[in-house]
Amino acid sequence: MLILTDCPDDFAWPGLSAGDWARGQTRARPETDADAAPWRALAPDSEIWWSAEVPSPEGAGFWRRLIVVREAPASQFDALRRLCGDGWALPGPVATVALTGRGFHGHRGRVWQTAPGNLHLCAALAPDGMPAREALALVAWPAVAVVEALRSVALGGLRPGIKWVNDILLDGRKVAGVLTASQSQDERVTLALLGIGLNVRVAPAVPADAFVPRVTSLAAQGVTADVAGACAGVLAALARGWADWRARGQAALLAPYREASVIVGRRVAVWDEDAGARAGGGGPTAPLAEGVVEAIEDDLRLRLRGRAEPVARGRLALLD
């Protein structure tokens, strides 16, 4: 895996020393250079980069590029989507990290607060022949990977859980969130995108609402990991999850997703995606559905006790 960065002193990748980085000038790269386009999109103000070759996390050469920038001028998730839409040929699975930045967001454009010391990770890959019907499993893939990474000894051996659809909780507090998107053509997925925000050092000051009443960080849980260590752990878990998924089908993701769920057997309310903080706060909206979760179906829909139709989408709040 090739790492490109404008901040090698602030991203201590495991096993790399200062002498392992090679300095380069980005403006000397031709427009046809495979790394020039993503670098100029993700770090337009950086004219110098440092590069280093490292083993791909979890081996097997899954990740081809990791681009790390000190400050992203805008959402890297959106930048990757535009790059791929403009015809950039992915050299293989590519991951990006911003130590901080502006314009980051979650699902439906909801603001994700960045903070130095936290992990802001995005990735893009072109699945080889994935049927479009499997695109829903893309939601489970990064959520399960974050859970497995946090269970590892390197990241504290914690006991995280998943709140439908894509929030990662520790002791009822949100520590991470996941964003996914895909593009399909002729019933095949041609592009998969993901974003992961993980509170490593800082628990941002997020206004409490029905959906995110409390937040936490790995540091608040007694974990001493840094951004690079957290990144390595998550990338390794993503690579393992992808290999299992492609080898054994969606069950390889759905089983651990269900096992990590914190909502099965609990009473919940689900509001429209755009309900926002009004839900549960006396606003004009009412939940779309309310009840005890009996099961999570294979397409991630929720089956609620006493409700004939499963719940396919929405924002979920725990009621007990």
Domain parsing of the chain, residue ranges: 2-260, 267-318
How far is 64 from 185, CA to CA, in rounded Å?
A: 24
- pLDDT surpasses 60 at 263: yes
Confidence of residue 85 (pLDDT cuts 50, 70, 90): confident
Structure token pair of residue 193? 């995108």
How far is 70 from 100, CA to CA, in rounded Å?
A: 6
User: What pLDDT is recorded for position 30?
Assistant: 65
Q: What is the DSSP secondary-structure string of 29-83?
A: S-TT-TTHHHHHHH-TT--EEEEEE-PPTTSTT---EEEEEEEESS-HHHHHHHH
- pLDDT surpasses 80 at 279: no
Strand order across the beta sheet in which 173-185 lies: 22-25, 48-53, 2-5, 65-72, 94-101, 119-125, 188-198, 173-185, 167-170, 161-163
- pLDDT surpasses 90 at 67: yes
The tokens 């080898």 sit on which residue? 247
Query: Which of 92-101, 123-132, 278-287: highest mean pLDDT?
Result: 92-101
Q: What is the pTM of this model?
A: 0.93
Give the count of beta carbons closer than 10 Å to the beta carbon of residue 42. Answer: 25
Average predicted confidence (pLDDT) for the chain: 90
How far is 37 from 234, CA to CA, in rounded Å?
A: 25
Over the stretch 106-158, which tens digit does the pLDDT of each residue have?
A: 777 777 888 999 999 999 999 888 888 888 888 999 999 999 999 999 999 99
Whether the Cβ atoms of residue 162 and residue 149 lie closer than 8 Å to each other: no
Whether the Cβ atoms of residue 194 and residue 142 lie closer than 8 Å to each other: yes
How far is 239 from 56, CA to CA, in rounded Å?
A: 9
How far is 267 from 71, CA to CA, in rounded Å?
A: 41
CATH architecture of 2-260: 2-Layer Sandwich (3.30)
